Amino acid sequence: MLTLGTTGLSTASTFIPRLSFGAAGKLKITEPEAKSILQCGKFEARIDADTQYTNPFDPGEVDIQVHFLAPTGERHVLPAFYDEEDGQPVWKVRYAPTSPGNYSYYAALGDQRTEKCAFECVPSDRDGFIRLSPHDYRYFQFDSGKPYFAVGHNVCWAEDYEHYFRRMAEHGENFTRIWMIHWNVALEWSGGDYPGLGRYHLGKANWIDKILESAEKYGIYIMLCLESFNTLRIRRPYPAYEGNPYARENGGMLEKPEQFFTDAEARRLFKQRLRYLVARYTYSPNILCWEFWNEVDIIERYVRDEAVAWHREMARYLRQIDPVEHPITTSFANTAGDDAIWQLPEMEISQNHQYGSRDIAESVRHWTRRNISEFEKPHIFGEFGTDSSGPRADKDPDGIGLHNGIWAATLSGSAGTAMLWWWDNYIDPKDLYYHFPPLSRFVEDVDWLNSDFRDAGIGTIDYVNYQTEERPSLRVFGLQNDREALLWIQNTQHTWYQMFQKMPLKPVLPTYIEIKGLQDGTYNVEWWDTYKTKVERADATCTDGLLRLETPEIETDVACKIRLSS
């Protein structure tokens, strides 16, 4: 999704690589002053190499590899990356040690090799990197073993990420999505102060450094999107191919946009870019995952077999060079995506994007359950909104669609909330952040990794005292096991579309909801106000595998935790 608008660029200085030759000399590591590094912290060392080059980003010209030996005996190899300090060239290496103890490392360039250096990794309370859980394929976990449930919305470009991250953290969010596109933080483009094909904008690279530092400060984890359909699109909507450095018109090799996926030199250069991204940023635990493409299916001409082969090749290469093994994903404009790509084992997270549904909760539930069932991997609803052409705050001024989307995804088995698109012209100016704290608090104590949740077994729903043939206008989104159930119960009249149409919203009188498949016994029930984080408690009894849950009167929606008494 993309709308055009004015977006500020980085205020960081723009560094352009010198196209020069250095004199051959000795490879040297300048060790950091600190000899101890916190576990999962950033280790960074400078490497001086007086070597000949015309393009310092091309590993065919300069390929400095840094070898690390961990106290566990594991060996990791990372490329050094080119940077500039005060206009002078320098190579650096970044690494995040994950095991306490003594590490040794050295750098190599061709037949040159430095002396071994060392540092100590000291224990910390950091949770480490986010991984796919080995306990439940639907969810994520940290190296520490704690579950990570993603709560957030898109902030794909911004002039001030510090502002967004602070506001998100204040309201319990921990996840966002950022695009590496030319009006934001793309490393490679044409025109302006970009240095050309195969060379990277060091000002933008430095800006990403600052974004990751801010993300760490506020506990925000990022889906980093490396490309968007715009860069390979000629016609409306939102084309940007005229500035693509790979295009023949700009000195590149592509006669047609779709050749990006098949041309050998284009593929080599994209791998070169992946190598730089890994070298500079993979150290950061705040990168949740790499996303190859935003909505790859709406490039100028999408050729399925070519796109599948490209995703397989690039994912395998990325996995080969990334010692951290951040998860990998991609995305599509068509809500279903492309099953041939989702079925690739190299695509480790599936996604959906969808706009314009009149019933966002039901749409989110349908696609979330479909993807989880079909592909058996974590799922994120990466974009949604009431309209693809704009936030249309006139249609949904109170964020009902946002509210229903985040709760529906959470209680349908997703690895995180659905991600609303409109951040800078909707969530932020209308201060809709208040929808997130109740959900963030609700999921805090859920053991996503070991609960073996299944879809909740919902039976009949009947009024407690009101005698009528009309069924209560309620629906239940839920997960359960034999001893616990998590439910979101929604008045089906409360959708953004029905409110926009000024249709009446009639509170649903107290009902009995049958929940099947729980172990017999007494259960503690928590009723959660999904707007104010207010919790009320009650008891319920399950007999012969059936628990009749008595609900309060429900005007909009309510969440519920049902747990067997200890």
Domain assignment present for residue 334? The answer is yes
Domain assignment present for residue 13? The answer is no
Q: Among 414, 443, 472, which residue terminates a domain?
A: 443
Encode 143-162: b = buried (16+ Cβ within 10 Å), e = exposed: beeebbbbbbbbbbbbeebe
- The pLDDT of residue 391: 80
Tens of pLDDT, residues 362-384: 999 999 999 999 999 999 999 99
Q: Helix or strand or coil: residue 426? A: helix
- The pLDDT of residue 392: 81
| pLDDT score of 234 more than 70 | yes
Tens of pLDDT, residues 107-152: 999 999 999 999 999 999 999 999 999 999 999 999 999 999 999 9
DSSP 8-state assignment for residue 300: S
- The pLDDT of residue 469: 72
Tens of pLDDT, residues 419-446: 999 999 999 999 999 999 999 999 999 9
Enumerate residues 6+ apart whose C-beta is below 8 A from 88.
none
CA distance 64 to 62: 6
What are 514's strand-pairing partners? 548
* Pair 380, 244 in one domain: yes
Residue found under tokens 């590490």: 103
DSSP 8-state assignment for residue 13: P
- The pLDDT mean for the chain works out to 94
CA distance 349 to 342: 8
pLDDT-above-70 percentage for the chain? 95
Please check whether residue 564 is in contact with residue 523, taking contact to mean a CB–CB distance below 8 angstroms.
yes
Q: Give the predicted TM-score (pTM) of the model.
A: 0.95
φ/ψ of residue 157, rounded to 5: -150, 155
- The pLDDT of residue 25: 55
* Pair 382, 509 in one domain: no
- State the CATH number of the domain containing residue 539: 2.60.40.1180
Domain assignment present for residue 5? The answer is no
- The pLDDT of residue 496: 97
Tens of pLDDT, residues 344-354: 999 999 999 99
Domain assignment present for residue 12? The answer is no
* Pair 338, 259 in one domain: yes
* Pair 260, 278 in one domain: yes
Domain assignment present for residue 58? The answer is yes
* Pair 169, 97 in one domain: no
Residue found under tokens 């284009």: 266
Q: Among 103, 122, 141, which residue terminates a domain?
A: 122
Q: Which of 309, 367, 314 has its CA nearest to residue 337? A: 367
Tens of pLDDT, residues 299-334: 999 999 999 999 999 999 999 999 999 999 999 999
Give the number of domains in the chain: 3
- Which pLDDT band, with edges at 50, 70 and 90, does 182 fall under? very high
- State the CATH number of the domain containing residue 327: 3.20.20.80
* Pair 297, 385 in one domain: yes
* Pair 388, 354 in one domain: yes
* Pair 141, 117 in one domain: no
| pLDDT score of 15 more than 90 | no
* Pair 230, 108 in one domain: no
* Pair 75, 164 in one domain: no
- State the CATH number of the domain containing residue 89: 2.60.40.10
Q: Among 416, 443, 470, which residue terminates a domain?
A: 443
Q: Which of 379, 329, 377 has its CA nearest to residue 352? A: 379
Other beta carbons within 10 angstroms of residue 520's beta carbon come to 12
Give just the sign of the alpha carbon dihedral 156, 159, 165, 171. negative
* Pair 142, 191 in one domain: yes
Element (H, E) at 439: helix 436-443
Domain range holding 201? 130-443
Element (H, E) at 521: strand 521-528
Domain assignment present for residue 21? The answer is no
* Pair 394, 462 in one domain: no
